[in-house]
Amino acid sequence: MFEQIDRKKATLDTLRPLPKYTLKSLREKLLIEWTYNTNAIEGNTLTMNETKVVLEGVTIGGKTMREHLEVINHRDAIAYVEEIVQKGDPLTEWQVKNLHRLVLKGIVDEYAGVYRDQQVFIAGAKHIPPEPYLIKEKMEQLIKWHNNEAQMLHPVERGAMLHAMFVGTHPFIDGNGRTSRLLLNLELMKSGFPAVVIKMENRLAYYEALDKSRTTKDYRDFIQLIAKEVENSLDLYLSAVS
Active-site positions read: 170
Distance CA 68, CA 180 (A): 20
Distance CA 94, CA 220 (A): 29
Half-sphere exposure for 21 (CA within 13 Å, toward CB)? 0
- Chain center to CA of 203: 14
φ and ψ at 155, to 5 degrees? -55, -35
Distance CA 174, CA 15 (A): 40
Distance CA 60, CA 48 (A): 12
Dmax (CA) of the chain: 52
Distance CA 41, CA 116 (A): 22
